[in-house]
C-alpha cells in the first residue's frame, strides 16, 4: 500500500490472502511442486541430523544431572594370601527404563562427547562418599583403582579431583590408583609431565590397564612413572590353552619384575589360572573367582565375610 503525500489517494496492490500459492501453482506448477518438495526434504534432513547428533549426548547429560552413573566395586586380592588388597571402581548406568547398563555400551559415547570427564569426576565423588564411612575396615593403603581416559589428562584439573577424593579419607588409609588403558596412550607433553609429577607427589599411583593389547614402549612406562601393569584378561583366559599366549604372559611378568613394577592379573576365573599366576609371582589378582563387581553395600558386606 502506497499513499500519496500530496493528493488524497493511495494505491494498493497484491493478492488476497492465500492467492499467492494458488497463482504460483497455476502459473508454474512444476517449479512450485519442486520448491515444496525440496523444502520439505531439507527440513526433514536437518531434523534427522540434529536429532541423530544430539540425542544420545543429551541423554548422557540428563543422566549425569540425575546421578544415574554409579560405582560398582570389584575386589583385587593379594596373590600370596588372597586377602582383599583393594578394589576397582567400575561405572554402571542405572537407567530408569533400561535397568543397569554396562559401561562398554555408553563409555565410548561419553568419551567422544567429552562428557567422560564430568562423569568420572562425579564417580570419584560418589566413590569417596560411599567408601569413606567404611574406611576403618580396609587394610592400610587399600588400593582404589579408577579408570581414567586420556582426555582427563590434558590439564591439571585431574590433580584437584584426586586431591578432593583423598581428602575424604584419613591420611594413608587408601591409595588411589589411576588406570590408563594401553590402547589409548597419552602424548608426553610439558603439561602431562607436570600433571604426573603432581599426581605422584599426592601419592597417587598409575597403572597401565589392558597391558599387552596396545603398544607402549619401555620409554613410555618410564616417562609416566608407571607403578602397576594390569595384564589384560585375554592373556589370562589362555592359560592352559595355548603355548604362545602363555609365552607372552610369561614375558610380561618377566618385564614387570625387571622394571620393578607391580603386576595385577585381570579376569581370573579358575583355580588353575590362579595357581599358575601365583606360581609366576604375580602380586595381585582380580576376577570372578574372587568376586564380581558389586554395589557398595554388598561389597562392604563381602569384605566382612572374607576377612
Residues that bind Ca ion (CB under 5 A): 147, 179, 209-210, 266
Q: Tell me the angle at which helices 29-65 and 19-27 cross, rounded to the nearest 10 degrees.
A: 130
- The reply on whether position 37 binds ligand C2E by CB under 6 A is no
Among 109, 198, 245, 269, binds ligand C2E (CB under 6 A): 269
**138 Cβ contact partners less than 8 Å away, ≥ 6 residues apart:** 173, 174, 303
Half-sphere exposure of 75 (CA within 13 A, CB side): 24
Coil, strand or helix at 291: coil
Q: Which residues pair with 230 in a beta bridge?
A: 264
Half-sphere exposure of 60 (CA within 13 A, CB side): 22
> How far is it, in rounded angstroms, from Cα 205 to Cα 176?
6
Min dist CB 232 to ligand C2E, Å, is 7
175 binds, among ligand C2E, Ca ion, none (CB under 5 to 8 A by kind): none
* Closest to 235 in 3D by CA, of 258, 219, 252: 252
Question: What H or E segment, with its residue span, contains residue 155?
Answer: none
Among 85, 117, 123, 176, binds ligand C2E (CB under 6 A): 123
Q: Which residues within the stretch 218-237 sit at the binding site for ligand C2E (CB under 6 A)?
A: 233
87 binds, among Ca ion, ligand C2E, none (CB under 5 to 8 A by kind): none
Min dist CB 237 to ligand C2E, Å, is 8
Q: Which residues within the stretch 164-193 sit at the binding site for ligand C2E (CB under 6 A)?
A: 179, 181
> How far is it, in rounded angstroms, from Cα 200 to Cα 129?
23
For β-strands 205-211 and 174-181, DSSP reports them as parallel
182 binds, among Ca ion, ligand C2E, none (CB under 5 to 8 A by kind): none
DSSP 186: P
Q: Which residues within the stretch 271-290 sit at the binding site for ligand C2E (CB under 6 A)?
A: 286-288
Among 62, 102, 183, 193, binds ligand C2E (CB under 6 A): 102
* Closest to 74 in 3D by CA, of 8, 127, 16: 127
Among 74, 175, 256, 280, binds ligand C2E (CB under 6 A): 74
Coil, strand or helix at 277: helix
Half-sphere exposure of 11 (CA within 13 A, CB side): 4
Query: Closer CB to ligand C2E, residue 168 or residue 268?
Result: 268
- The reply on whether position 161 binds ligand C2E by CB under 6 A is no
Query: Closer CB to Ca ion, residue 149 or residue 280?
Result: 149
120 binds, among ligand C2E, Ca ion, none (CB under 5 to 8 A by kind): ligand C2E
Min dist CB 42 to ligand C2E, Å, is 39
* Closest to 84 in 3D by CA, of 268, 265, 305: 305
# binding residues, ligand C2E (CB under 6 A): 25
198 binds, among ligand C2E, Ca ion, none (CB under 5 to 8 A by kind): none
State the greatest distance between any 2 C-alpha atoms of the chain, in Å, as a whole number: 110
Among 161, 182, 209, 283, binds ligand C2E (CB under 6 A): 209
Min dist CB 147 to ligand C2E, Å, is 4
**64 Cβ contact partners less than 8 Å away, ≥ 6 residues apart:** 115, 118, 119, 122
| Interface residue list for ligand C2E (CB under 6 A) | 74, 90-91, 102-104, 107, 116, 120, 123, 147, 149, 179, 181, 209-210, 233, 266-269, 286-288, 293
Amino acid at each position: 500500500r502506497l499513499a500519496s503525500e500530496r493528493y488524497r489517494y493511495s494505491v494498493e496492490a497484491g493478492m488476497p490472502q492465500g492467492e499467492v500459492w494458488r497463482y504460483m501453482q497455476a502459473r508454474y506448477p512444476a517449479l512450485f511442486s519442486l520448491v515444496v518438495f525440496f523444502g520439505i526434504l531439507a527440513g526433514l534432513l536437518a531434523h534427522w541430523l540434529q536429532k541423530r547428533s544430539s540425542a544420545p549426548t543429551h541423554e548422557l547429560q540428563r543422566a549425569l544431572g540425575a546421578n544415574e552413573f554409579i560405582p560398582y566395586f570389584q575386589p583385587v586380592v593379594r596373590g600370596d594370601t588372597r586377602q582383599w588388597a583393594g578394589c576397582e571402581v567400575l561405572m554402571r548406568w542405572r537407567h530408569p527404563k533400561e535397568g543397569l547398563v554396562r559401561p562398554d555400551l555408553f563409555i565410548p559415547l561419553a568419551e567422544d562427547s567429552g562428557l567422560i570427564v564430568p562423569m568420572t569426576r562425579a564417580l570419584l565423588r560418589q566413590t569417596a562418599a560411599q567408601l569413606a564411612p567404611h574406611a576403618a575396615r580396609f587394610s592400610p593403603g587399600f588400593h582404589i583403582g579408577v579408570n581414567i581416559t586420556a582426555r582427563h589428562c590434558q590439564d591439571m584439573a585431574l590433580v584437584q579431583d584426586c586431591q578432593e577424593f583423598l581428602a575424604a579419607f584419613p591420611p594413608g588409609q587408601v591409595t588411589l590408583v589411576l588406570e590408563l588403558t594401553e590402547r589409548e596412550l597419552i602424548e608426553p607433553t610439558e603439561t602431562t609431565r607436570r600433571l604426573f609429577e603432581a599426581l605422584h607427589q599426592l601419592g597417587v599411583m598409575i597403572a597401565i590397564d589392558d597391558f599387552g593389547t596396545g603398544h607402549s614402549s619401555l620409554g613410555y612406562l618410564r616417562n609416566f612413572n608407571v607403578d602397576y601393569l594390569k595384564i589384560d584378561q585375554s592373556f589370562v583366559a589362555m592359560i592352559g590353552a595355548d603355548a604362545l599366549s602363555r609365552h607372552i604372559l610369561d614375558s610380561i611378568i618377566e618385564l614387570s619384575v625387571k622394571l620393578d613394577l607391580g603386576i595385577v592379573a585381570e579376569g581370573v576365573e579358575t583355580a588353575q589360572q590362579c595357581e599358575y599366576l601365583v606360581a609366576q609371582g604375580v602380586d595381585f589378582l582380580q576376577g570372578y573367582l574372587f568376586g564380581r563387581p558389586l554395589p557398595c553395600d554388598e561389597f562392604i558386606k563381602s569384605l566382612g565375610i572374607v576377612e
